[in-house]
């Protein structure tokens, strides 16, 4: 089984979790941790360590972080390494709703190719609305 942990600055991770819940329903294998203003990095690391201890026996741990190189991301990598869980963990940055939903609905373990597909799907969820102009219309 796969456990997914969302981490972010502010309350982004909670918001993405709530949005996914609205779409997918019960998210038994998803949890989140937010580095909110006023919460020091050491307190965040302690909370992250507790969450990891709760799921460390699972087959696969996927951490979705908001920003590569940010404190939540760096804490995840460091703590997973300290707990010797990196070999069964994936830490992916760029947290967004399409990314979470794609990981959530992927049934098989996330190998290198599947991770690349997940990232591509998440990127494809970013776009801009454009009005199509009819060449016959006068301006």
* Domains present along the chain, CATH in parentheses: 2-124 (3.40.50.510)
pLDDT digits (tens, 9 = 90+) for 72-81: 999 999 999 9
User: DSSP for 89-123?
Assistant: EEEEE---HHHHHHHHH--S---HHHHHHHHHHHH
User: What are 33-87's pLDDT values in tens digits?
Assistant: 999 999 999 999 999 999 999 999 999 999 999 999 999 999 999 999 999 999 9
Nearest to 98 by CA among 26, 23, 11: 23
Burial class (CB in 10 A: 0-12, 13-18, 19+), 38: exposed
């Amino acid at each position: 089984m796969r456990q997914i942990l969302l981490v972010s600055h502010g309350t982004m991770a909670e918001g993405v979790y709530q949005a996914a819940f609205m779409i997918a329903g019960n998210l038994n294998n998803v949890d989140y941790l937010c580095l909110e203003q006023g919460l020091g990095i050491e307190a965040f690391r302690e909370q992250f360590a507790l969450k990891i201890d709760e799921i460390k026996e699972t087959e696969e741990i996927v951490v979705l972080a908001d920003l590569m190189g940010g404190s939540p991301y760096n804490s995840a990598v460091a703590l997973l390494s300290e707990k010797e869980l990196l070999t069964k963990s994936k830490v992916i940055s760029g947290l967004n709703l399409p990314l979470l939903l794609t990981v959530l609905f992927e049934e098989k373990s996330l190998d290198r190719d599947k991770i690349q597909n997940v990232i591509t799907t998440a990127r494809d969820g970013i776009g801009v609305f454009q009005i199509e102009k009819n060449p016959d219309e006068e301006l």
